[in-house]
Each structure stands twice: as C-alpha cells, then as structure tokens.
A and B are shown apart, each in its own frame.
Chain A
Amino acid sequence: MTLALLIALPPLAAVLDQPFWVNTVTRILILALAAVSLDLIVGYGGLVSFGHAAYFAVGGYTIAVLAQHGIDAALIAWPAAVVAAAVLAAIVGTLSLRTTGIFFIMITLAFAQMVFFTLVAVKAWGGNDGLPLDARSVLPLVNLRDPNALYFVCLGLLLAFVALAAQLVESRFGMVLRGARSSERRMLALGFPTFRYKLVAFVVAGAGAGLAGALWAEYARFVSTDMASWTRSGEFLVMVILGGLGSLVGAIYGAAVLLGLESFLAGFTEHWMLLLGAILLVVVLFAKRGLYGWLAGANDG
C-alpha cells in the first residue's frame, strides 16, 4: 500500500502540479536509509550508537571531494562513499565495541565529534562553509538531474537495503547478533565470538549510512559539517525509536513522521524544537513500541 503510493508519487505530483512533493519525499527516503541502517545495530544488536551521523557525513564528503577532483561517475563515487564509511565504522567499531552500555553511547558520540571537528578543520573541504557540488554524479542510462530519476534511484536503493537487512537479521549471522543483544553471556558460552558479529553489523550499518550520505550529497548538491553534527545522530535515533525498534520498515515511517512533524511545527512557530522535544519526551516516556508497533497493533485488532 505504502509502496504503491511511493511509486505513484512522481506522476501524481506532476498531475497535481506539486513538484516539491518529490523533493520532500526524496529527502525522507534518504534519511530513512540511514535510519534503517541504524535500526540494524540498535534494534537487533542492542548497540546504541550515538554517532551514526559520522558515517552519513563521510559518505557525503566522499562524493563531494571526489567531484572536486573531477570524478563524477556514480558507479565509482558511490561505492567509494560506501567503502569509506565502512572503513571508518570498522575503526570506530573495533575501539568502541570493547565497551558496552553507557560507555558505548558516549564513545560513539565522541568519535562522531572527532569526525565533525576534522571536517571543520580541513579548509580544503570548505571547513565550516561546507562544499558545494557543481553537478550530480553521472549514472549510465539514468539522468540524475531529473528529480524523478533521483527519486526512484533513492527509493530503489532504500528498498534494496531494507531487503538486505531483513535477510541479514533472519540468517545465522542475524540469530547470533540478536542473541547477543539479549544475552551476550549465553552467546559466549555457546562459543560465539560475539565481538566479530557485532563488528560486522556495525560496519554494515556504517556502510548503509555512507550510502545515504552519498545520496544526500547528490540530492542537496552540497555537503556541510551539519551532516556530522551530533544532533543529526540524535535525529537518526529518534527516527528509529519513533518507528519502533527492530522493525527496519518502521524506521522509514519514523523518518517520515519526524520530518513531517518538523516542517508541520515549523509552519506554526519559530520555536518548533521546543514542541518537538515535548512530543518526543511523551513518546519515549509513555509509548514503548513506537509508531510501527502501534500501527501493527491496530492492524491486529
């Protein structure tokens, strides 16, 4: 149902003469990709990373910096962005997965700040001003300059990642990951070197966020240190929790709701963050299963 709506959106927007719909939803799809990748580790691995924006930013900056050096072939730049984010995730994961709980949260946040300040400091990449892209990357057969084409590419990649993640969590690998979330001690006693499984999940999630960051760079034709800010990491977590932990698809709804809420509240008042904070507080304190849980529950009944 939702999928049919998403596929029908561009022609619908054209008929109704609301081209900005496509832009808005493209943005949601891209951030949803990052949120889904975060749900993979938070919802299934119990790894509360508060630094997911770092991989998003590294993905985006890879595209921008490659473009700066004249490399605009998407088939080179996009995989490069994914690999760059995955490498960073491997390094951060190796260090931070040595710890658990609150330590892990603080360390992932701190390493994301490290990325943030590095991006601020490197003048060649624009520092605080960010780095614009002259044009979108070039993909064979598809013209990314066409907003509808970019929209469908983003939709396709999001669905592909959701399918991949869904497969992953049901596989043998996923069983170990989910088992370790619930009882790491039991998993060790069974003989699973849990660190490795968590690290692989952490890297896959980082790669997903890197892809999202790459798409964001294409979409906005601009990257800035904002992409790595800690509030961005917080927003990704909010999307996951709004959608309901460990549901993958839920994170997409979470992204849509958060962005919708932001622009809705911003239409009312300049101080929409206050309202958003209040709503979020109520959701966290009183609605445990998130939006997806609520929707699923409604369908059951």
Chain B
Amino acid sequence: MSLAIEQILNGLQFGVMIFLLAAGLTLVFGIMGVINLAHGSLYMLGAFVAASAAGRGAPFVLAVLAGAGAAALAGVVMELVVIRRLYRREHLDQVLATFALILIANDGVAIAWGKTPVRMDVPGALTGAVTFAGLTYPTYRLLLIAAGLAVAAGLYVLISRTRLGMLIRAGATHRETVAALGVDIAKLNTIVFALGALLAGVAGALLAPILAVQVGMGEQILILTFVAIVVGGLGSIRGAFIGALLVGLVDTLGRAYIPVLLKPVAAPALADSLGGGLSAIAIYVLMAIVLVWKPRGLFPVGSR
C-alpha cells in the first residue's frame, strides 16, 4: 500500500514538472500560434546553468534562479531573433526553424559543457526523507511537488487576476481588440515567450539534482509534454495541468505495475519483454484513447 502511495507521489512529481513545460508551450501556442520544438532546449539550458552554478558553490536557491534566469534570457533572444519571424508562417516552417534551433542548442551546450552528463547534488538540507503515515519519502521530491503546485497556483492567479493575464487571455481569442486597446502585441508576445522559457528553466533547474543533466534531455521531456498537451487540449492552462498530471501518473504507475501485473499471466521472459514494452508506451495508449474519445483533447479551447 505504501508502495502504491510512493508511486503516486512519484507520478505526481513527474507530472507537475511536465506541467511547467506544458504551460509555457501551450501559452506560446495559444497566444502566438507557434509550435516551438526548442522549448525543451530552454529546459536543458536551465538544468545546465543551475548545475554549473551549484558546482561553483552557489547556494541552491541561487542556482535555481540562475538556471531560470538564463532560460528566460535565452527565451527573449530566441523570440526576438527567430520566433517573431514565424508568427505568420506555416506550421511546417515553425517546425523546421525550431528543429534547427534544437540542433544549434544541443551542439552549443555540448561545446560549453561537454557531452558527459553534469551532476548536481541535492542541497544538504533536503537530502533526507520525510516519514508520514508509515511512508518514507525523499524530502527533495516532496519539495518538487510543492514547488510545481505553487507555480501552477501562481500561474492561475497571474492569468485570472492580473492585467497581464487579462491581456494574455484576450490575446488568444481577440487579437485585434487587444491591439486596438493600444497594447504593444509584439511586447506581449516577448513577455509571454519569456514567461514560458522561465517556467521551462525552473523545471530544468529543479530536476537537475535528480536527473542526468545531459545533451538531449530536452527532447525526451518535450515529447512527453506534447502528449500532455494533446491529452489536455491545446491552448488551455487547465488542460495542460490535467494532461501533465495524467501523463506523469500513467507513465510512473505503468512502469511500476504493468510488468508486475503481467507476471501471473505470461512466461517470465515474455512478461519482462512485453511488460517493458507496454509500460514504455502506456502514455501513448492513453493519448490514443483520448484522441478517439475527444479528438481535441479533454479541455479544448476556442476555435483554433
């Protein structure tokens, strides 16, 4: 039983981190109509910068801030130099241009940090584990869940309660009205893009102590993020949140339980092989089911 709770917490932790990426990606799509494959590169940059800041003795909080800041800065540059030219272009151009950005980012990071994984330690105060209700769970992972939920709540407040949020919501559906209000759309776009980059950087920096920080890490999570967005519905923060949690939970629980469940019904070798395969594809099966049931995701937005 406690194992099940632990797995659920793991899935939740994975899910909220995916949400940090999915939120930015879905906002950028909702406001600008751009698909950004290089979103994972910003996450990777956040992880690398945080890891090397920590490696040089920066306190944990500062390292995370450095990673997030670097990602946000890179996001601003990316928007000004490339993304801005893609707003009115076809999706195919957007895919290819941001694919090119991935090639550049991956090689650039390899030049700066090398191809071997970089390590970042869990900060001393958080290395332990918390025991509650008969369950022992690593403190740092609990912090990740809390941080992810806090960011989600903050984002909710930002979108629903502030002037910037109002503009973001309006910008997604009534571009012309927003422009008519005298708002500088170009600036709004840059801000939204930087916000998305910041969130991706935070996710990268927070995950750096428990993941291998290496070239290519961005694409792995990017594709999970896509699945989360497809499941949740494009352009919706709420959809991104639910989709990300579903993906995190299904992936984690699938890996934990599908091989176990297969044991009694299949030969050991087959159970191993089949179980491994099935648990690796569990989230794609989830996506397929949602697609058949609701082709536009669980929480579709507007007409775009």
A residues adjacent to B (C-beta < 8 A): 42, 48, 50, 95-96, 98-99, 101-103, 105-107, 109-111, 113-114, 117-118, 120-124, 230, 234, 237-238, 241, 245, 271, 273-274, 276-278, 280-281, 284-285
Contact = CB atoms under 8 A, between A and B. Distances in A.
B97 A107 contact: no
Contacts of A95: 288, 291-292
A38 to B, nearest CB: 11
3 closest A-B pairs by CB? A277-B103, A274-B107, A114-B284
Contact of A122 (B91, B223, B273, B291): B273
B281 A118 contact: yes
Interface stretch (B46-54, B161-169, B180-188, B226-234): B226-234
Given A103-B296, A122-B273, A278 B91 contact: no
A110 B284 contact: yes
Contacts of A102: 29, 35, 91, 234
A280 B99 contact: yes
B110 interface: yes
A271 B110 contact: yes
Tell me which of B101, B234, B280 has the highest count of chain A C-beta atoms within 10 A of its own C-beta. Answer: B280
Contact of A280 (B91, B92, B103, B110): B103
Contacts of B99: 234, 237-238, 280
Contacts of A241: 92, 96
B106 A273 contact: yes
Contacts of A280: 96-97, 99-100, 103
Contact of A120 (B101, B103, B280, B295): B280
B230 A103 contact: yes
From DSSP, what is the main secondary structure of chain B's interface residues? helix
B97 A281 contact: yes
Given A99-B291, A113-B223, A121 B91 contact: no
B292 to A, nearest CB: 7
A50 B95 contact: yes
B288 A106 contact: no
Contact of B97 (A48, A96, A124, A285): A285
Given A110-B287, A281-B104, A284-B93, A118 B219 contact: no
B91 A48 contact: yes
A206 to B, nearest CB: 17
17 contacts: A42-B92, A95-B288, A107-B287, A107-B291, A114-B281, A117-B277, A121-B276, A237-B95, A245-B92, A271-B111, A273-B103, A273-B104, A276-B100, A277-B100, A281-B104, A284-B100, A285-B97
Interface residues of B, number: 41
A195 to B, nearest CB: 12
B85 interface: yes
From DSSP, what is the main secondary structure of chain A's interface residues? helix
B198 interface: no
Contacts of B102: 277
A109 B35 CA distance: 13
Interface string B278-298: 001100100110011001100
B24 to A, nearest CB: 15
Contacts of A237: 92, 95-96, 99
Nearest to B34: A102
Contacts of A111: 284, 288
A95 B230 CA distance: 12
Contacts of B226: 106, 109-110
A256 B111 CA distance: 28
A298 to B, nearest CB: 23
A122 B273 CA distance: 6
A103 B234 contact: yes
A117 to B, nearest CB: 4
Interface in B56-99: 82, 85, 91-93, 95-97, 99
Contact of A106 (B35, B100, B273): B35
A278 B223 contact: no
B230 A110 contact: yes
Contacts of A277: 100-104, 107
Interface in B105-120: 106-108, 110-111
B100 A122 contact: no
